[in-house]
Structure formats: structure tokens, C-alpha cells
Amino acid sequence: MELLLQRYRNGSDSTLGSFFVGGEFSCFTCEDQHQEIKVRNETRIPAGRYEIKLRREGGSFNPRYAKKCNFHEGMLWLQDVPGFSWIYIHVGNTSEDTSGCILLGYVATRTDRGGFVSQSVLAYEEVYPVIAEALSLGECVFITVRD
């Protein structure tokens, strides 16, 4: 399965993008801003192509999501992101909700500092099961992140 995150709005605090599953638009994204030198918890991941796996153990996210979502099988975890670790696709609205991770939402609102997404839980509830099912069937899942 191929996913695409096409970034379209870069701001001083956040980055907005469009998220595609199998070539079809699915929702919007919000990430941290671009920075030449990484600042912990305030820098988006570099553009590139990353494999996604389910992370079922450890961390604080997995148990919380297992309680909230009856379909949860593990966090959607991007592999081998240069200079980053524990990068997930998850629920959230603003750059305050991410530390390099990708937030999903149905509505993207532009601001002079980038923007934010809303209706994040609804977007996640649509996207997550499709990706998790592909992974559970042994399919490789990749996301291409484009600036």
C-alpha cells in the first residue's frame, strides 16, 4: 500500500498537508514546522519515503489508543526517519500535539503561522483501519512525504 503526504503550507509554527491513501485524497495533515537545524519537539520530519509498521509495545500512546479505539492494533510507526525516532501518525490538532509526528484531520485551517487541523478523531477512525488491515494481511505499507 502506498500513502502520500503532500505538504502545501509551511509556516513558522506548523505545516499543513494533504494525505492520500492508494492515490485517493483522504484527509489533511498537520506537522511541526520546517527547520534547517532540528529542534527537539518542534521540527517536522524530512521529505522521503518511509515504511510504516505497527508498534504494539511500550510508550504511552499505545495503551491510551487501545482504550479509546476498539479497532486499535498498534501505533502507525514510520521507520528509519533520519534524525528522528518514534514518529507516528495519530490524532491531534496543532503543532503543540506533535513532536515530529503526523496529525490527521478532516478540516485544515490556515493561519499566518501555518495552520491546524480539526475533526482529527474522525479522520483517524477512517484512515487507521485501512492501513492496519493491510499490515495485518502482511502487506508492506509506505508513505512518501513531499515538500
pLDDT in tens, 45-89: 999 999 999 876 766 665 565 556 666 678 899 999 999 989 999
Nearest to 81 by CA among 130, 145, 23: 145
Distance CA 87, CA 83 (A): 11
pTM for this one?
A: 0.91
Which pLDDT does position 42 carry in this prediction?
A: 85
Which pLDDT does position 69 carry in this prediction?
A: 61
Q: Is the pLDDT of residue 17 over 70?
A: yes
Which pLDDT does position 55 carry in this prediction?
A: 76
For the chain, give every domain's residue range: 2-146
- The 8 Å CB, 24+ separation contacts for 105-110 are 105/27, 105/28, 105/29, 105/30, 106/27, 106/28, 107/28, 108/16, 108/28, 108/30, 110/9, 110/16
Which pLDDT does position 19 carry in this prediction?
A: 98
Which pLDDT does position 36 carry in this prediction?
A: 85
pLDDT in tens, 32-46: 999 888 888 888 999
Confidence of residue 122 (pLDDT cuts 50, 70, 90): very high
Q: Is 57 or 133 the better-scoring residue by pLDDT?
A: 133
Nearest to 28 by CA among 99, 100, 102: 102
